[in-house]
Chains A and B, each alone.
Chain A
Amino acid sequence: MLLVDELNRIQFAGFKLGFWFAQQGSIYVFLVLIFFYAHRMAKIDKKHDVDEE
């Protein structure tokens, strides 16, 4: 949202990239972030022997 004007100069599969990120991309990025975090934290907990089992 801060870089929207720069990104809008790039066309990508029929979207202006800045617009695509605002209405689609950001949501996918959030999803990847959370799934990665949940997966990673479960591993870290196990490694330091603080997981709940």
Chain B
Amino acid sequence: MDLQSLTYLVVGATFALYIAIAFKSKARSTGDFYVAGKHVHPIANGMATAADWMSAASFLSMAGLIAFLGYDGSVYLMGWTGGYVLLALLLAPYLRKFGKFTVPEFIGDRYYSQTARVVAVICLIVISFTYVAGQMRGVGIVFSRFLSVPIELGLIVGMAIVFLYAVLGGMKGITYTQVAQYCVLIFAYTLPAVFISFQVTGNPIPQLAFGSEIAPNLHLLEKLDQIVTDLGFAAYTSGSKSTIDVFFITLALMVGTAGLPHVLVRFFTVPKVRDARASAAWALLFIAVLYTTAPSVGALARLNLTTTIQHSPVGTENANLVYAERPEWFRTWEDTGLLRVNDLNDDGKVQYYNDSNPDFASRAKTMGWKGNELTVDRDIIVLANPEIAGLPNWVIAFVAAGGIAAALSTAAGLLLVISAAVSHDLAKSVFARNLSDRSELRVGRISAGVAILLAGYLGYNPPGFVAQVVALAFGLAAASLFPAILLGIFSMRVNREGAIAGMLTGLMFTMGYIVYFKGIFIEPLAENVAANWLFGISPEGIGSIGMMLNFAVSITVSSLTKKPPESVRVMVQSIRVPRSN
């Protein structure tokens, strides 16, 4: 069977599976719709959280990001996994004990204020929509690359599938589809990685392979360092970012992870407080399978790619790939536009080097090189892996299904928190307090439907800022929701005034800083370079400062205004003790 029909078959089969699961677990009450009736086993919840969390970006882009950033890419690995430690230790068990449905609900109850609740809803919606637009885009891209259908059609199919199982099944439906999606995506990710590791190093375990020897007394990473520095790039295993910037970016990503509403809400779905802690642990384990494989895939792919282009030492005769003799996978990916060659010096060969490194310029000139001729899209690292390794077609079909699974599972989780915020936190508590359970469920389904349409629209017409959303979503989560929740659990003194002032300060400061340097809706006001940054912290890391400001403002304002009422003291005391009373 040819690749095309095989891919249709595998992707179609996974879709059928998701829909079947959704029909089996149809939500019958708001409890089912928002938190899956709180009956989810911690291991199942761990898997669902992992799928929920690992987005199209984790699946498609992360290995590529690390491949081209080298050591600097580590911030994503550490930040996105370290967040789970914060979740497990500081937030998840307490939110589970609180035992209601949504994150804004906790903030509204703890700070005895509808205003606080609405501010939390605003933060949540801004964070979730920026994030979901990228996911829908991811679905469209995978469809168009593997199934050669137009992006729009791919988007519509993806929307229809999410609509079916998120609207019908609610949290209950997406939990069990996410478990299935985790299995699909992790299989699709690790299988090619194992084959590639074995081919390059003879060691099938990716986590060990990129430390192994590929020639006597020559480790893979030493070879990689040597080969990329020969071409004027920074050494793979050393970083170029300043220590303070690395520290703040990692912190912002960690805290942002812990403050993302679609991840937090997953811990509302387990039966007990103990299960909330356990499922954070399982979630990290399942995530770590992919996150420890990714750096290995990145290093191997960088080596593979670089040695394909530069097969003999720099400066020797005929050391570069002759364009006419390029391998088959090279041609395939050139067709998609992800790999582009521009023969600047017309020698019929490909030169791949760092042409913005002034120290290397004179050397390049003596060799007759007139600039870097190869442009690589980083998504290609994962997508092209099976072809580079010469794996059979069914593996490639699985990679397509895995990419779609990663994007759909995250999109569904995000859409659900949006709809819950609208139906539960706005409709039920602000506009129509006497809404019955049945009509609330209906409002929830309608708002999920509307959110999907809107997300699809954003995916089809991505606003110019999609590339910046990572900084934005994480920075905002870190600067607004995380401190409010944390103080709500661990302080009895922080009151309504403090929390609202803190959330608004964090939100506006972080957004302002990112807009200032990256320009969302407006032109950037200053060039995004280290010299202009506050304390040398890039916009990606500024959420950490926003978080600190939020803490400072919350505590100061609270100590100047009057204490929270006695009922809040009782509530805080009760969420700190697992047994209910």
> How far apart are the CA atoms of A15 and B274 in the complex, in Å?
37
> How far apart are the CA atoms of A24 and B73 in the complex, in Å?
12
- A30 and B284: CB pair below 8 A? yes
Q: Which residues of A contact B280 (CB under 8 A)?
A: 34, 38
Q: Which residue in chain A gives the minimum CB-CB distance to B281?
A: A34
Q: A31-B281, A31-B284, A52-B579 are in contact. Are A26 and B77 (CB under 8 A)?
A: yes
Q: Which residues of B contact A15 (CB under 8 A)?
A: 211, 219, 221
Write the nearest CB–CB distance from A36 to chain B, whole angstroms.
Answer: 9
Total count of chain A residues near the partner, CB < 8 A: 29
Write the nearest CB–CB distance from B43 to chain A, whole angstroms.
Answer: 12
B366 at the interface (CB under 8 A from A): no
B228 at the interface (CB under 8 A from A): no
Grouping DSSP codes into helix (H, G, I), strand (E, B) and loop, the A interface class, with mixed when no group exceeds half, is helix
B554 at the interface (CB under 8 A from A): no
User: Among A19, A26, A33, which residue has its beta carbon within 8 angstroms of that of B78?
Assistant: A26
Interface string of B159-195 (1 = CB under 8 A from A): 0000000000000000000000000000000000000
User: Among A14, A45, A52, which residue has its beta carbon within 8 angstroms of that of B580?
Assistant: A52
From 238 to 268 in chain B, residues with beta carbon under 8 angstroms from any chain A beta carbon are 238-239, 243, 246-247, 250
User: Among A22, A24, A26, A52, which residue has its beta carbon within 8 angstroms of that of B273?
Assistant: A52
Interface string of A6-28 (1 = CB under 8 A from B): 00100001111001101110111
User: Among B82, B277, B292, B580, which residue has its beta carbon within 8 angstroms of that of A24?
Assistant: B292
Q: Which residues of B contact A22 (CB under 8 A)?
A: 71, 74, 77-78
Q: Which residues of A contact B525 (CB under 8 A)?
A: none
26 contacts between A and B (CB under 8 A): A1-B74, A1-B246, A2-B243, A2-B247, A14-B222, A15-B211, A15-B219, A23-B295, A24-B295, A26-B74, A27-B77, A30-B81, A30-B84, A30-B85, A30-B284, A31-B284, A34-B84, A34-B85, A34-B88, A34-B89, A34-B277, A37-B281, A38-B274, A38-B280, A38-B281, A41-B274
- B277 and A38: CB pair below 8 A? yes
Write the nearest CB–CB distance from A5 to chain B, whole angstroms.
Answer: 9
Q: Which residues of A contact B281 (CB under 8 A)?
A: 31, 34-35, 37-38
What 6 A-B pairs have minimum CB-CB distances, sorted nearest first? A14-B211, A22-B74, A14-B219, A38-B277, A23-B295, A34-B281
Apart from the given pairs A20-B211, A27-B291, 10 other A-B contacts in the complex at a CB distance below 8 Å:
A19-B71, A24-B295, A31-B285, A31-B288, A34-B89, A34-B277, A34-B281, A34-B284, A41-B274, A50-B577
